[in-house]
Structure 1
């Protein structure tokens, strides 16, 4: 499935579409079906509101989240990256998409809160992203205080597990485990580690679901438009909506050597070139899309506009084939050693990408651009069979 790139329409028209106008920018609206006569329910609503007043878009020791998950994960709120996509903070989010508490229900000794984030727009141009998400979180007691909790542990509590190499598969009772796919995954991961990250000694969990909505629940979404995709690599885990054990694109994300200065284009480019390319047709189809656009719309789609991500989405996420083109170019000239250098380089923005690629290949910027175009041009006329684009 194509990753859905969400362009925040509110950046260009926030005053026209703001959903919530209030002296208090962080304020919840509550459905009449919610039993606000219950002290615990009122406490859960207040907890949720307090959390959003405490800069949840930032990662720190937030007092409104449970201690155990904060110790396990640096980025402990599994919905944070998606819900604050585009650089929003909580105030901006609440202004654009009025949070509406749909339900607060007991769940054993816990409570579960479900909150709709939706704008008030009726503009046909933006109506498709009117509902940002429906977030669902647990609330549990910790030292006699209510704190928030991810859904994933409760959802997967009765799921099966099976180990294959460095991967611990976690899958629901209705899933038929594919040993062959798991063996292929084990072999692929071993090869990537051997080639590019021999110091890697960790294991990770791999959660198998059969739909984007089932996967969304593992990230605390009852429904989500924002961040929707078929796979994600997170701390210590991979989530997949594809219903199988083999996801090379996400394996690459998980196994690459860490580099905080690696930018989005190169991160995704490496995952596409080393991972998605395992499916030749899928890879060629993706590369062909960008190659065709470069030929037919050169004023809009060109080396500078794509590598700088001035054009992020053109029916497909442009960073994927653009980054893969850079990786393919480097591999053709410098092999694995060139890719290893790229993995370690500063590639945060256009200038740093150009500087790093020129340094690795010993080419001028003009020559890099020409070789990148040639790398992509060869895919025009190749397979046109429709395939999903992995994330």
Structure 2
């Protein structure tokens, strides 16, 4: 969600669309449950096949998709219309399809004008992925007829959350899974936290949605997955101004920090964006920055010669979380703020990979390698 690219002019997509649609020849297999002798099932099968051959990892007005799903912010930030696409395909759809073959498990009618296409992406016998996993994802896309009677694919989020409780609390709209409860005290703390961050860094507060979910499987379902290989505690979709949590919590400081700071045309490196959110809001729900710092110090002391570069490049990391990198970035942000205040934070936030080291040197007034050593010394002294 954090890597965004400048949108190409819309006419370029229109010109390229025929090439995108016919450049590949993917024909998904079908299970015995998919009866293509039925007119509607056959039409939906062809629709989905066309979609797979239309560069689903790309951002443009895909002709096989419900136009109501396509928000301007998606085009502006080069985000695919399919909520599962970025997580599943990344930016290299052809590479993904080299390892995984689509098998349509079901094409079913859910009501008078709502259908589902359930597909398993399983590694083929000729190739093996790096994890050795044979099943990668099971996706579930919805299909409805448009105003002209043509079938169009759509995301599941609107239908799945249609009857969920919605509470408007000041500038946050909470959308609450039936198995979760709204906590007004937590909501008030969330509002207070956002207002404090806004005041501290001169930020403008804009309304946003906050989805409260009980677990990662329910998050997967509104991302169009019936099965996925991700474990996500929380996520912020800044272009669409959405926060998702899988802890049933009404207040998630780490994700609120991501939401409060504005979307950048060239987003800052992960060490800065996640470091900033960790310094101000902890690395994840229920863990404070101070707690994480102590654990990170303890972990790094088990390595003979830990380096800043090894942490940033994930050569040194925890097995099940990114806390080492997050806390290291948090210390960088904290030290920069103590050195030159909020102006230093904005300098870091407006940096890209090319100028980050130079900007850090300007803030601290010393060579980058010395700054890296200072950061590790700060962590290890805990």
TM-score range, shorter chain: 0.7 to 0.9
The corresponding residue for 1:242 is: 247
> Do the aligned residues in 1 keep the contact of 2:123 with 2:129 (CA within 8 Å)?
no
User: CA distance change for structure 1 residues 149 and 277 in 2, over 3 Å: closer, same or farther?
Assistant: closer
More off after superposition, 113-122 vs 253-262: 113-122
Does residue 54 of structure 2 align to residue 61 of structure 1?
Answer: no
The corresponding residue for 1:111 is: 115
TM-score, reference length from structure 1: 0.81
CA distance in 1, matches of 2:165, 2:25: 43
Does residue 237 of structure 2 align to residue 231 of structure 1?
Answer: no
CA distance in 1, matches of 2:207, 2:270: 24
Q: 5+ unaligned residues in a row in structure 1: which ranges?
A: 1-22, 380-391
Higher relative contact order (CA 8 A, sep 6+): 1
Deviation at 1:39, TM superposition (A): 1.6
User: CA distance change for structure 1 residues 281 and 55 in 2, over 3 Å: closer, same or farther?
Assistant: closer
CA distance in 1, matches of 2:158, 2:261: 26
Deviation at 1:322, TM superposition (A): 2.7
Aligned pairs (5 A) from 1:264-303: 264-276=270-282, 282-298=288-304, 301-303=306-308
Aligned pairs (5 A) from 1:1-391: 26-71=26-71, 73-74=73-74, 75=79, 76-85=81-90, 87-89=91-93, 91-108=94-111, 109-120=113-124, 126-127=131-132, 129-142=133-146, 143-200=148-205, 202-225=206-229, 227-234=230-237, 235-261=240-266, 262-276=268-282, 282-298=288-304, 301-307=306-312, 309=313, 311=315, 313-315=317-319, 316-317=321-322, 318-344=324-350, 346-347=351-352, 349=353, 351-379=354-382
Please give the per-residue CA displacement for 1:217-245, whole angstroms capped at 9, x wherever unaligned. Answer: 111111110x4301111112111111010
More off after superposition, 245-254 vs 114-123: 114-123
TM-score, reference length from structure 2: 0.83
Please give the per-residue CA displacement for 1:331-359, whole angstroms capped at 9, x wherever unaligned. Answer: 23223332222222x23x3x532122112
> Do the aligned residues in 1 keep the contact of 2:283 with 2:292 (CA within 8 Å)?
no
CA distance in 2, matches of 1:82, 1:149: 17
Q: Secondary structure at the match of 1:242?
A: coil
> Do the aligned residues in 2 keep the contact of 1:208 with 1:242 (CA within 8 Å)?
yes
> Do the aligned residues in 2 keep the contact of 1:328 with 1:375 (CA within 8 Å)?
no
> Do the aligned residues in 2 keep the contact of 1:137 with 1:149 (CA within 8 Å)?
yes
CA distance in 2, matches of 1:199, 1:303: 33
CA distance in 1, matches of 2:30, 2:285: 48
CA distance in 2, matches of 1:147, 1:298: 57
> Do the aligned residues in 1 keep the contact of 2:314 with 2:325 (CA within 8 Å)?
no
> Do the aligned residues in 2 keep the contact of 1:25 with 1:95 (CA within 8 Å)?
no
More off after superposition, 327-336 vs 116-125: 116-125
Please give the per-residue CA displacement for 1:38-76, whole angstroms capped at 9, x wherever unaligned. Answer: 121122122222112111111111111111111365133
Deviation at 1:375, TM superposition (A): 2.1
> Do the aligned residues in 2 keep the contact of 1:197 with 1:255 (CA within 8 Å)?
no
CA distance in 2, matches of 1:343, 1:125: 33
Q: Secondary structure at the match of 1:342?
A: helix
Please give the per-residue CA displacement for 1:108-158, whole angstroms capped at 9, x wherever unaligned. Answer: 11110111112147989834x432211111011122221111111111111
Please give the per-residue CA displacement for 1:247-285, whole angstroms capped at 9, x wherever unaligned. Answer: 111111111122233122211111111111697854345
CA distance in 2, matches of 1:172, 1:72: 27
